[in-house]
Amino acid sequence: MRRRGLILGAAGLAGAFGFMMGLGTWRGGDPPPPRGGEGARDGERMDLSRMAWELTDDHGTRVAPRDWLGQASMVFFGFTWCPDVCPTTLMDISGWLDDLGPDADRIRVSLITVDPERDSPQVLGEYLSNFDPRIRGLTGSPEDIAKAAAGFAVKYERVPRDDGDYTMNHTSGVYVFRPSGALSSIIDFHEDRQFAVPKIRRAIE
């Protein structure tokens, strides 16, 4: 499958360094808390219970942040035509879930697209079939995506390419939430993998 080759091809991963350099200012440490959006208020931490977005998953089911309360959650933003950062993150997450063993069933994992024009539920489902089956994809209208991104203080932008197509720049951290909906931690793209699973376990416990 051509898409599988794009996702898992060594050439795409070899180009990661240059792409990450272009997004470096979006990857350094935790993103700032949102200002006046649907997420954390001034002086408060990001919390799913304060968000009000609604999206559609790759099974066609409507999903709201209230649906995630009561179980730990792991969320990140990306898109299916991402050349390296997103597939690398998805492979990392698949590995973390393996490392968690039975505890992996105690955390919900979601990819929210920043490219709703191309990422329909069906496209997300096909793309995510290359990774751990517990990872769900979420999409919606451009307005829906903007509302969700504001809740997580995520930045993204469409960037034209010389060939007339486009790519998407976006915040790359993985957000980890406790069952209460409170933010537990953020796993940075550059972070040493050995720290990721302990962060996830803290959210589950």
> Using one digit for the tens of pLDDT, what is the confidence trace for 5-32?
444 443 333 333 333 333 333 433 333 3
Residues annotated in a binding site: 82, 86, 170
pLDDT of residue 141: 98
pLDDT surpasses 80 at 177? yes
Q: How confident is the model at residue 37 (pLDDT cuts 50, 70, 90)?
A: very low
Q: How confident is the model at residue 205 (pLDDT cuts 50, 70, 90)?
A: confident
pLDDT surpasses 50 at 159? yes
Contacts of 99 (CB under 8 A, 6+ apart): 197
Extents of the domains making up the chain: 48-204
Taking the C-alpha atoms of residue 31 and residue 68, their distance in angstroms, rounded to an integer, is 21
CATH architecture of 48-204: 3-Layer(aba) Sandwich (3.40)
Q: Which amino acid is at 52?
A: A
Query: Is this prediction's pTM over 0.75?
Result: yes
Q: Contact at 8 Å (CB) between 130 and 100?
A: no
Residues listed for the chain: 205
Residues annotated in a binding site for Cu cation: 82, 86, 170
